[in-house]
Amino acid sequence: MSNIVTEQLTEAGRKIEHSSFDIVDQEVGEHHYTDDQWQIVRRMIHATADFEFNGLAEFHPDAIEAGIQALSTGKAITADVNMICVGLSQPRLSHFGVTTHQFIADEDVIATAKAENTTRAVQAMRKAHRLGLLEQGLIGIGNAPTALLEVKRLIEQEGLKPALIIGMPVGFVSAAESKDELALLDNIPWIISRGRKGGTTLVVSAIHALLALAEARQRQTAL
């Protein structure tokens, strides 16, 4: 049984997307991912036309199941920047009752970052934590390595337990290192892109793939 909610809205759109996925499958060569992991990696490649993500994408063993469960039960998504929230399909999110949040441009976040000589991304994650959005929620970081490092600090020092972290910040300062640090966690599920490559597009792609897996699970359960 095919998905409905997490597909393109028009037949033409669906045909183009499915043809693109077929091309990726044909050209990618060998990969070591499970079938469910490949749904995410394939969307990452589709969104960037970059086959290096076959290998750069890595998964905690519990990542897929944790993501499906979080989205299926309407857990909140907190992002480091608004681009992730804007890029996500609202009809797909609404189907599962999922809300998105980001605080990077809030006045109090900016003021505190200036006062404490930290980044806005750090203060945005702290605000989300104070509001209770990160606990058992899904965290998506595609831009700010400092946000990812702050989430790791909250886990280790303040006992935070998010459902899943999608950590894919892009850049040259601490981007690769922040993802390496996240991958050291064994008690919190994560999905990362190794090295300097990353970006909000990848986080959006990963979440859309998880939403598709969640719908497939939902429809299978309903049979």
Of 46, 60, 101, 208, catalytic: 46
In contact, 50 and 170? CB cutoff 8 Å: no
- 95 is known as an active-site residue: no
Question: Catalytic site residues?
Answer: 46
